[in-house]
Amino acid sequence: MESMSPSYAVCVRGASKAYGSGKKVLNVLERLDMTVQKGSIYGLLGASGCGKTTLLSCTVGRRRLDAGSVWVLGGRPGEPGSGVPGPRIGYMPQDVALVGELTVRETLLYFGWLFGMSDDAIGERIVFLQQLLDLPPLNKFVKLLSGGQQRRVSFAAALVHDPELLILDEPTVGLDPILRQAIWDYLVTITRDDHKTVIITTHYIEEAKQAHTIGLMRAGRLLAEDSPSRLLGRYGSETLEEVFLILSSNQGPVDQGHDDPGTVDQGSVETLSVDQGAGTLPLSASSTEALHQAHGSNGDLNSSPNGHDALALQKLRANGKSAACNGGGLGGVHDVPVRPSPPFSAMFKGHVKALLVKSFLRILRHLGALGFIFIFPVLEVGVFFTAIGGDPQGLQLSVVNEELYAMNLTSCDQYRAAFGAPGSTYSGGTDDDYGQPVGNCSVRMLSCAFLDYLDHNMANQVYYKEREEALSATKAGDSIGVLYFSPNFTEYLEARRLYGSELSEDEVEQGEIPIWLDMSNRQLGTIMTKSIVDSYHAFSRDLLGRCHANPKIGEIPVHFEDPVYGVDNPNFAVFAAPGIILTMIFFLTTGLTATVMITERQEGLWDRSLVAGVTAWESLLAHVVTQGVLMGIQAALALIMMFLVFKVPCVGYMGDVISLTFLTGMTGMCFGFFVSVSCETVTSANFMSLGSFYPIILLSGVIWPIEGMPLLLRWVALFLPTTLSTTSLRNIMLRGWSLSKPEVYVGFLVTAVWAAALITLCMIILKYRK
Ligand SMILES: Nc1ncnc2c1ncn2[C@@H]1O[C@H](COP(=O)(O)OP(=O)(O)OP(=O)(O)O)[C@@H](O)[C@H]1O
């Protein structure tokens, strides 16, 4: 089996990597070889965009090569037991990759815990790093630090566990020259005295003279890899910059046919490389001890002997084969004893502790997020139950009452003032032995009597002289409808009772109340219709009762007994409440989690934590716990509002209501995680979660029963995460059914299956996503 020479810290062979596909493919690394000796500083130099960061991220195991191989500290990154990712390496990415809401001390504790360190050990390192890097005050929040201060903290985070291999992507950017020199001095010291290895990229080419080896990179390849002194000597140059220019012109132009510098004209490439395969590797001859001797104990690389004779210049091998990583003849290698990693359980505890503390502090210190978490459920439930389900008020109903006009009156008030209360009066005796009335029943102005029964809060009655005029007001939107009474309304309504079938069509019609309603607003029109019909029944019952007649004869012969479940005249809000509470919790938690991982990825914290050895599982677990607690608070607030403040009725077991609500919240959270791991940007995550909002709401039976949907859509609706749970919750709340009924437990089951499926999908995506 292929292995790596123990004298190498990092060995890259034939590395190729491209981004994109088809015409937009971008070749960033092209059969690149790189060898980093243990106990040395390796300066990786190259123009912006030449692929340095890509190479480093493949080295730390965050990206996969398309071809070629990488060995790090004797193993392949990501392989079990390699320790990479993990505490053996310290990685400082190009971006600051810290949590703005943590203080400097908390940041270093976070990374220390990730590496399995004790609080005492971290404390000691903090004191040391404070002096080395002139860290800002430890209790200052990272987001309040300057760019340079943040970079120092980021650097300290990579150093906190004193790793064997440091991979630093432009650590000195934005730092003053004195601090830069202090950092380089420190790197020289740890490589010399502690036999640590450092790979560093920098844009300050000249500062890289202090490295033991320089890798000059261009267009995805290493143009040269040697000690700075030898490079300068060979090209008779004063500066590394000059060497780079000479090598670049030797390499030839970057292929202009490609839109980036990462692709080169293959025909003109000429690469300097170290012949490791033949065992004549000058770097191996200069084992790490020799390296340090050659550079002087003070790390001054310019004092090394000119060894350019030893360097093999060779054409890039036409067959593309690269030297092996186990290049022989490496006698005298000073190998560093590997510090044992803390046991798995300690690492796991450290990871979970760090991730949980970070996530909780982040949320607690984010006032906007806290407001979102605590105010929204209260606000949304409050708004829903206050706004929905109430009867409309303040409408206008047009009345054309010819009965009044025939008496030269313009309103019922005028009639009342002149003739007393309208309606019926019974006089002239008691009922006979069979219960039949024997007296007289006189009726007066029944139109006004009926109008009194209408809900005056719901609609103001406005009198119009002409029917056309009243209709115009309704057409103009000023009125919800028109009620018309004929001049002989009272007479013919009474005649209906007394003479029934003997009346002509015209006489029957004169005893009717024609109504023209504006049904453009379905809810208003329907509520008005029901209100008028209910008012008529009440009027008719009263009228007949007063006349000692059976009040039922005035009603249609269909009688609704007390409902089997629910109440007479149910409130829409009560019908919608189960669906509303579940979809609300579902989407509140989706919103809470949908961007959480994207933000971490964009900040670089995700990558950095994974390089520190955190697994995607651990990260997801910590998020599930943190977000789960928040979701719990949201669900509790929503339920308190619904049942204690708005007194929504629930005849079933409250424990089932609470568990189903929490389960739905968990599913919403899992959906949020799914969005978070499958979308690249916050914008696309927002589109995805908002885009799913309407289909789920519309099809879950909250607004319209699914029985009213086409069959195919009904099936789709049944598989959505909140449809069956809504039915289930309605069955618990309004029917009082328990979990033993399939109509209840299926809702729980489907919701749980959704949660499990979504979290599994997240794990699969996280496993394969690089
Ligand atoms: N995820 C990605 N998808 C597509 N292209 C990418 C991606 N990451 C990097 N690139 C492109 O790959 C090329 C190399 O990028 P890389 O970050 O490795 O360069 P670099 O040498 O580190 O640059 P700099 O010194 O400016 O940091 C650039 O053209 C960059 O735009």
Q: How far apart are CA 381 and CA 387, in angstroms?
A: 10
Distance 509 CA to ligand 1 centre (A): 85
CA torsion angle 593 598 603 609 (round to 10) = 80
Give burial (CB, 10 Å; 0-12/13-18/19+) of 405. Answer: middle
Residue 589, pLDDT above cutoff 70: yes
Q: How far apart are CA 199 and CA 201, in angstroms?
A: 7
CA 162 to chain centre: 35
Predicted confidence band of residue 308 (pLDDT cuts 50, 70, 90):
very low
Q: Is 489 within 8 Å of 530 (Cβ atoms)?
A: no
Q: Which ligand 1 atom is nearest residue 56's CA?
A: 18
Q: How far apart are CA 609 and CA 115, in angstroms?
A: 10
Q: What is the ipTM of this complex?
A: 0.97
Residue 294, pLDDT above cutoff 60: no
Q: Where are the alpha helices (DSSP H) in 476-520?
A: 489-499, 505-510
**pLDDT score at 2:** 55
Residue nearest to atom 1 of ligand 1 (CA): 19
CB < 8 Å & 24+ apart, contacts of 406-412: 406/487, 410/463, 411/463, 412/445, 412/447, 412/448, 412/451, 412/452
**pLDDT score at 339:** 53
Domain ranges of the chain: 8-88+163-250, 350-384+571-769, 395-430+437-553
Min mean pLDDT across 200-214, 717-731, 749-763 is at 200-214
Q: Which ligand 1 atom is nearest residue 55's CA?
A: 18
Residues with CB under 6 A from ligand 1: 19, 26, 28, 46, 48-54, 94, 260, 262
Q: Which ligand 1 atom is nearest residue 260's CA?
A: 29
Strands 481-485 and 515-517: antiparallel
Residue 280, pLDDT above cutoff 50: no
Predicted confidence band of residue 768 (pLDDT cuts 50, 70, 90):
confident
Going by C-alpha positions, the residue among 220, 326, 334, 232 that lies closest to residue 281 is 326
Distance 50 CA to ligand 1 centre (A): 7
Predicted confidence band of residue 437 (pLDDT cuts 50, 70, 90):
low
**pLDDT tens across 7-31, in order?**
788 999 999 999 988 778 889 999 9
Q: How far apart are CA 676 and CA 162, in angstroms?
A: 33
Q: Is 108 within 8 Å of 122 (Cβ atoms)?
A: yes
Q: Is 388 within 8 Å of 380 (Cβ atoms)?
A: no
Q: Which ligand 1 atom is nearest residue 46's CA?
A: 21
Going by C-alpha positions, the residue among 624, 664, 625 that lies closest to residue 763 is 624
Q: What is the mean pLDDT of residues 390-419?
A: 94
Residue 282, pLDDT above cutoff 70: no
**pLDDT tens across 640-695, in order?**
999 999 999 999 999 999 999 999 999 999 999 999 999 989 999 999 998 999 99
Q: Which ligand 1 atom is nearest residue 50's CA?
A: 21
Q: With b meaning 16 or more CB within 10 Å and e meaning fewer, what string describes 172-205?
A: beebeeebbebbbebbbebbbeebbbbbbbbeeb
Residue 92, pLDDT above cutoff 70: yes
Residue nearest to atom 5 of ligand 1 (CA): 19
Query: Looking up tokens 């449809």, which residue turns up?
Result: 723
Strands 221-226 and 165-169: unpaired
* DSSP type of residue 342: P
**pLDDT score at 326:** 63
Q: What is the mean pLDDT of residues 283-291?
A: 41
**pLDDT score at 176:** 84
Q: Which two tokens stand for residue 447?
A: 């139109």
Q: Which ligand 1 atom is nearest residue 217's CA?
A: 21
Ligand 1, pocket-test mutation among 16, 34, 44, 53, most atoms within 8 A of CB = 53
Q: How far apart are CA 129 and CA 146, in angstroms?
A: 18
Residue 762, pLDDT above cutoff 90: yes
Distance 53 CA to ligand 1 centre (A): 7
User: Is 395-430+437-553 in CATH node 3.40.470?
Assistant: no
Angle at alpha carbon of residue 621, lines to 618 and 626, rounded to 5° = 125
Residue 88, pLDDT above cutoff 70: yes
Min mean pLDDT across 160-174, 217-231, 313-327, 623-637 is at 313-327
Predicted confidence band of residue 160 (pLDDT cuts 50, 70, 90):
very high
Question: In this predicted model, which residue has the larger pLDDT, 327 or 347?
Answer: 347
Q: Is 12 within 8 Å of 323 (Cβ atoms)?
A: no
Q: How far apart are CA 598 and CA 584, in angstroms?
A: 23
**pLDDT score at 328:** 40
| Cβ neighbour number for residue 431 with a 10 Å cutoff | 11
Residue 174, pLDDT above cutoff 80: no
Residue nearest to atom 25 of ligand 1 (CA): 48
Q: How far apart are CA 307 and CA 18, in angstroms?
A: 35
- What number of CA atoms fall less than 13 Å from residue 564's CA on the CB side? 2
CA torsion angle 249 254 260 266 (round to 10) = -130
Min mean pLDDT across 166-170, 424-428, 642-646, 734-738 is at 424-428
Residue nearest to atom 16 of ligand 1 (CA): 51
Distance 44 CA to ligand 1 centre (A): 15
**pLDDT score at 3:** 59
Min mean pLDDT across 50-59, 345-354, 376-385, 578-587 is at 345-354
Q: Is 667 within 8 Å of 758 (Cβ atoms)?
A: yes
Residue nearest to atom 7 of ligand 1 (CA): 19
Q: With b meaning 16 or more CB within 10 Å and e meaning fewer, what string describes 95-107?
A: bbbbbbbbbbbbb
CA torsion angle 84 85 89 90 (round to 10) = 170
Residue 84, pLDDT above cutoff 70: yes
Q: Which two tokens stand for residue 264?
A: 């080169």
Q: What is the mean pLDDT of residues 253-276?
A: 40
Predicted confidence band of residue 432 (pLDDT cuts 50, 70, 90):
low
Min mean pLDDT across 271-275, 365-369, 757-761 is at 271-275
Q: What is the mean pLDDT of residues 724-749?
A: 96
Q: Where are the alpha helices (DSSP H) in 194-299?
A: 228-234, 240-251, 282-285, 288-294
Ligand 1, pocket-test mutation among 27, 28, 62, 169, most atoms within 8 A of CB = 28
Q: What is the 3-state secondary structure (H, E, C) of 591-611?
A: HHHCCHHHHHHHHCHHHHHHH
**pLDDT score at 203:** 80
| Cβ neighbour number for residue 310 with a 10 Å cutoff | 17
Backbone angles phi, psi at 213, to 5 degrees: -135, 145
Q: How far apart are CA 122 and CA 125, in angstroms?
A: 5
Q: What is the mean pLDDT of residues 470-482?
A: 96
**pLDDT score at 251:** 67
**pLDDT score at 360:** 92
Q: How far apart are CA 352 and CA 140, in angstroms?
A: 24
Instruction: Tell me the torsion sign for CA atoms 727, 733, 735, 738.
Output: positive
Distance 51 CA to ligand 1 centre (A): 6
**pLDDT score at 322:** 47
Q: Which two tokens stand for residue 769?
A: 């996503």
**pLDDT score at 585:** 94
Backbone angles phi, psi at 42, to 5 degrees: -115, 115
Residue nearest to atom 22 of ligand 1 (CA): 53
CA 270 to chain centre: 49
**pLDDT score at 449:** 95
Instruction: Give the CATH number of domain 8-88+163-250.
Output: 3.40.50.300
Predicted confidence band of residue 5 (pLDDT cuts 50, 70, 90):
low
Going by C-alpha positions, the residue among 205, 220, 283 that lies closest to residue 251 is 220
Q: What is the mean pLDDT of residues 594-613?
A: 89
Q: Which ligand 1 atom is nearest residue 51's CA?
A: 18
**pLDDT tens across 532-581, in order?**
999 999 999 998 888 888 888 888 888 888 999 888 888 888 889 999 99
Distance 47 CA to ligand 1 centre (A): 11
Predicted confidence band of residue 289 (pLDDT cuts 50, 70, 90):
very low
Distance 31 CA to ligand 1 centre (A): 17
Distance 49 CA to ligand 1 centre (A): 5
Ligand 1, pocket-test mutation among 16, 17, 19, 244, most atoms within 8 A of CB = 19
Q: How far apart are CA 139 and CA 38, in angstroms?
A: 36
Residue 313, pLDDT above cutoff 80: no
Residue 275, pLDDT above cutoff 70: no
Q: How far apart are CA 493 and CA 508, in angstroms?
A: 8
Question: In this predicted model, which residue has the larger pLDDT, 310 or 673?
Answer: 673
**pLDDT score at 555:** 82
Distance 273 CA to ligand 1 centre (A): 24
Helix (H) or strand (E) holding 67: strand 67-72
**pLDDT score at 302:** 36
**pLDDT score at 441:** 80
Q: Which two tokens stand for residue 685?
A: 């995550």
Q: How far apart are CA 51 and CA 27, in angstroms?
A: 9
**pLDDT score at 560:** 85
**pLDDT score at 401:** 96
Q: How far apart are CA 154 and CA 608, in angstroms?
A: 10
**pLDDT score at 364:** 87
Residue 274, pLDDT above cutoff 50: no
Helix (H) or strand (E) holding 223: strand 221-226
Distance 28 CA to ligand 1 centre (A): 7
Predicted confidence band of residue 247 (pLDDT cuts 50, 70, 90):
confident
Residue nearest to atom 24 of ligand 1 (CA): 48
**pLDDT score at 239:** 87
49 Cβ contact list (under 8 Å, min separation 6): 260, 261, 262
Average pLDDT, the chain: 84
Distance 48 CA to ligand 1 centre (A): 8
Residue nearest to atom 13 of ligand 1 (CA): 49
- End-to-end Cα separation, the chain, in angstroms: 26
Query: Looking up tokens 């293959």, which residue turns up?
Result: 266
**pLDDT tens across 186-209, in order?**
899 999 999 999 999 988 888 888
